[in-house]
Structure 1
Amino acid sequence: MQVRSILRILGLLVAVFSVALLPPVVLAWIYGDGGAAAFFLAFLLSLFIGFILWFPNRDRRADLKTREGFIIVVMFWVVLGTVGAIPFWMPDNFSLSFTDSMFESFSALTTTGATVLTGIDELPHAYRFYRQLLQWLGGMGIIVLAVAILPLLGIGGMQLYRAETPGPMKDNKMTPRIADTAKHLWYIYFGITLACTLAYWAAGMDLFNAVGHAFSTVAIGGFSTHDASIGYYDSWIINLICVIFLLIAGANFALHFAAFRGKSLRNYLHDPELRALLAIQLVLILICVATLLVYRWYDGVGQAVTHGMFQAVSIAITAGFTTEDYSAWPVFLPVMLIFASFIGGSAGSTGGGLKVIRVLLLYRQGVRELNRLVHPKGVFSVKYGQRALPDRVIQAVWGFFAAYALVFVFIMLGFIATGLDDYSAFGATVATLNNLGPGLGSVAANFQDVSSAGKWLAILSMLFGRLEVFTLLVLFTPTFWRG
């Protein structure tokens, strides 16, 4: 185990993150409503932490193996979440308890979007922007950013990339060199964010809120600079812009790269995962709108369409933005949307959940087993597009699903043990493990009333969801530590 090499890289990554604490300092000076001292001290402290990790190990440059890659990714998210909590915890006009600070930081970085805060509209601009920025950094994964800009990581960057990037087929690269792949991902990510910012701005948001909401939209995070979330603006145009960019961010970023490089939309049209994603969203929208109309939940058709479309996409793709309290909708709609969040976005996107491709492959494997029952001697394969997938991919998907289900059960039981009722415990588990944000029952709006033990369990659940279960779960296996 290359412990000193791990510490060196961890120090560099923390130092990279410390830069994110400077923009809130500038905003605090501009708006003059507090937070400058807290963020500047947090910057110095995080820079110091990075330095003391890096300096004693600065000459250790051993190549990373897969095992070290997993350890760095897990350690980095834990350390980053802890460092990210410092501004919330610092003595200031606005200050949270240590547990609440950690919860808010991890929720932002994992793009979960659950919160313990109320009165967000009254917070200093520095804190409101910082929450959005954390989600934006966590959306693509700051480790992918580090691989892109830190050649000091050398050839070990591939191990970080494979451990960090979501999806069942992690070895696919858009470019021959992994650093170039990471750079292209961030160019695309930044370009989509810029386009989303300009769209929000043109639709009536001021620049501060346009940037903040673009950060959390493209990251599929769900944090807002207002307590009422997107519903604060009561604008169908802003709702539509949010839906469009959530769908863009919910697609595989490799598709965006292929479209940009080839200057063609052909790859979008022929991608089975994207077609499945759009079909699922369309069905959910139709069900929501039709149910709201049948139950006359809104006065007009326009409101039913606007709210039904927005909430269906926002919840199902695991963003968690709201225009109003969807948990109060009639009959089965709240539970249906919560179950839809299990599917989430595409692999290689910023969405949470199981990912569309895994659900698609599970469905096709189920069809194959049914065909085998009818024709026991027949030979059937699971195809993705025109390509027959090897059985090891299907086995990996089943393995992931089994691990996910096991983690889900244990976390839900843990929430019940901390005092949540069964319905709220189910909602809290879905909200955190799928990186969704809003849950059901007592956690439909926020996690403020959850016990301290429940909040720490929620943090663990967020990490499991953001790191796709296996990356964290593998550390608890004896095989990982042998050799």
Structure 2
Amino acid sequence: MHLRLITKVLGLLLMVFSLSMLPSVLVSFIYNDGIHDAFILGFLITLFTGFAIWIPVRHHQADLRTRDGFVITVLFWVVLGLAGSIPITLAPAATETFTDSFFESFSGLTTTGATVITGLDELPKSLLFYRQQLQWMGGMGIIVLAVAVLPMLGIGGMQLYRAETPGPMKDAKLTPRIAETAKALWYIYFSLTLVCTLAYWAAGMTLFDAISHSFSTVAIGGFSTHDASIGYFDSPAIELIAVVFMILSAANFGLHFVAWRSRSVKHYLLDPEYRTFLMIVAGLSVMTIGLLVFTRTYDPVTSVRYGLFEAVSILTTTGFGTADFALWPLFGPFMLILASFVGGCAASTAGGIKVIRSMLLMKQGLREIKRLIHPNGVFPLKVGKRPVGDRVIEAVWGFFSMYILVYALILFGLLATGMDFPTSWSAVAASLNNLGPGLGSVAAHYGAIPDTAKWLLCIAMLLGRLEVFTLLVLFSPQFWRS
């Protein structure tokens, strides 16, 4: 374990992250909201902390190993959450405790979208912008951004990329060099954000709201500048734009890269995972709309409008709202929360187990049924036309097992704090799946739950963001053996 190298990288990354607080200073001056000092002080504290960590080890050179990459990834998200909470803590009337400030910061960076802040419509514009920006930066991962810079500093980044990139197939690269891969992903990410901003603006949002909501839409984060979320605008056009970009952002960004390079969209329809995702979107939307129509919760047109939006928002783990789905009748709220476990595609900004893993789990289950009927039969498992090895299936089952175990343990922890079952069940699901809104006491915000529960949910957010194993591997004795 190269502790000095890990310290050097953390210091560099903190100094880079400190720059993210400067745009909010500009926004504060533009809107004259009077809290620019919070962001300036946050910038200085983060910058000098990073500099103090980096300066003693600045000349240290070594090859970054896989174990170092895992440690840096986990430590940086924790440190980043702490640094990101500084302006929120210093901003007047934003949060009352450090726990709430860290929760808000961490929820933004992990693109969970669970908030403890109410009265968003009255908050300073610069603070609102900062929250949205945290989600945008967390969407593709601060580490992926960093690996485009670190090679120029003489530090290899492949280990970091492997630790951060979501999905079961971490070794697939879009371009031969990791820096080129990271840059390509960020170009695509920025382009989607720009187009989304222009679409929102054209549909009637102010430029500020358009930029802010494009950040959280493409990041699949769910933070909004209004308490009523997307429902504040009461615009079918804005809702449709959000649906389109949530579906695009839930796709494997490798597909966006291939589509951009080949100037063709056929790859989206040829990809088995994305085809399955679109079918799940269609099926869940039909079920949700049908439930609302059958129970006469809304008129048919409104049922289509709200049912489609909420189905896409919850399935993709974005968490935007146009209606309070927690109050919908029968099994509607529970069905949507369960759908968030599927989430989006691998290598997307979405949370959840991911569609590819869900596909493999289903295929493996069906294969076991066939084996019961034909014990001597050979049934190869394929995704599209490509066979999937048993090692991949074992990894997926291992991931699913740990996902459920972690979910159960954190659920027991929340119940131990005195929270009721619907609130606890949905809060863990919303945090582990990086969704945001839940049921019961956390349907609107998380401000009323105990501090202990908030810290447990922060752990769930980190586990979900790093897909469980990146964090759990640090608790393995074998990991620390030389």
TM-score interval (norm. to shorter): over 0.9
Aligned 8 A contact 2:317 2:435 in 1: yes
Which residue in 2 is equivalent to 1:131? 131
Give the Cα separation in 2 of the matches to 1:464 and 1:137: 18
Aligned 8 A contact 2:150 2:157 in 1: no
Give the Cα separation in 2 of the matches to 1:372 and 1:181: 41
TM superposition shift of 1:95 = 4.6
Which amino acid in structure 2 is aligned with residue 260 of structure 1? W
**Which 5+ residue runs of structure 2 have no aligned equivalent?**
none
TM superposition shift of 1:231 = 0.1
Which residue in 2 is equivalent to 1:461? 460
Which residue in 2 is equivalent to 1:251? 251
Which amino acid in structure 2 is aligned with residue 369 of structure 1? E
Which amino acid in structure 2 is aligned with residue 83 of structure 1? A
Indicate the SS of the match to 1:85.
helix
TM superposition shift of 1:91 = 5.8
Give the Cα separation in 2 of the matches to 1:292 and 1:92: 42
Aligned 8 A contact 2:94 2:117 in 1: no
Measured at CA, do residues 111 and 91 of structure 1 come closer, stay the same or move farther in structure 2, by a change above 3 Å? closer
Give the Cα separation in 1 of the matches to 2:153 and 2:394: 32
Which amino acid in structure 2 is aligned with residue 305 of structure 1? V
TM superposition shift of 1:76 = 0.3
Which residue in 1 is equivalent to 2:404? 405
Which residue in 1 is equivalent to 2:279? 279
Structure 2-normalised TM-score? 0.99
Give the Cα separation in 1 of the matches to 2:323 and 2:201: 22
Which residue in 2 is equivalent to 1:161? 161
Give the Cα separation in 1 of the matches to 2:155 and 2:4: 17
Superimposed CA distance per residue, residues 62-119 of structure 1 (whole angstroms, 9 cap, x where no aligned partner): 1111100000000000000000000011163545310000000000000000000110
TM superposition shift of 1:288 = 0.9
Measured at CA, do residues 447 and 198 of structure 1 come closer, stay the same or move farther in structure 2, by a change above 3 Å? same
Aligned 8 A contact 2:35 2:91 in 1: no
Which amino acid in structure 2 is aligned with residue 58 of structure 1? R
Give the Cα separation in 2 of the matches to 1:152 and 1:476: 32
TM superposition shift of 1:153 = 5.5
Which residue in 2 is equivalent to 1:301? 300
Give the Cα separation in 2 of the matches to 1:34 and 1:418: 38
Further displaced range: 379-388 or 87-96: 87-96
Identity %: 60
Which residue in 1 is equivalent to 2:478? 479
Further displaced range: 228-237 or 417-426: 417-426
Superimposed CA distance per residue, residues 426-480 of structure 1 (whole angstroms, 9 cap, x where no aligned partner): 0110010000000111111111111011111111111011010000011111111
TM superposition shift of 1:152 = 4.2
Which residue in 1 is equivalent to 2:19? 19
Superimposed CA distance per residue, residues 347-384 of structure 1 (whole angstroms, 9 cap, x where no aligned partner): 00000000000000001111111111111111111111
TM superposition shift of 1:295 = 1.2
Superimposed CA distance per residue, residues 217-267 of structure 1 (whole angstroms, 9 cap, x where no aligned partner): 000000000000000000000000000000000000000000000111121
Which residue in 1 is equivalent to 2:196? 196
Aligned 8 A contact 1:63 1:154 in 2: no
Aligned 8 A contact 1:209 1:225 in 2: yes
Superimposed CA distance per residue, residues 194-219 of structure 1 (whole angstroms, 9 cap, x where no aligned partner): 00000000000010000000000000
RMSD between aligned alpha carbons? 1.0
Which residue in 1 is equivalent to 2:342? 343
Give the Cα separation in 2 of the matches to 1:277 and 1:373: 29
TM superposition shift of 1:340 = 0.2
Which amino acid in structure 2 is aligned with residue 463 of structure 1? L
Give the Cα separation in 1 of the matches to 2:91 and 2:371: 65
Aligned 8 A contact 1:9 1:153 in 2: no
Give the Cα separation in 1 of the matches to 2:24 and 2:167: 33
Which amino acid in structure 2 is aligned with residue 170 of structure 1? K
TM superposition shift of 1:481 = 0.7
Aligned 8 A contact 1:88 1:96 in 2: no
Aligned 8 A contact 2:13 2:50 in 1: yes
Aligned 8 A contact 2:310 2:322 in 1: yes
Which amino acid in structure 2 is aligned with residue 178 of structure 1? I
Give the Cα separation in 1 of the matches to 2:152 and 2:51: 15
Which residue in 1 is equivalent to 2:382? 383
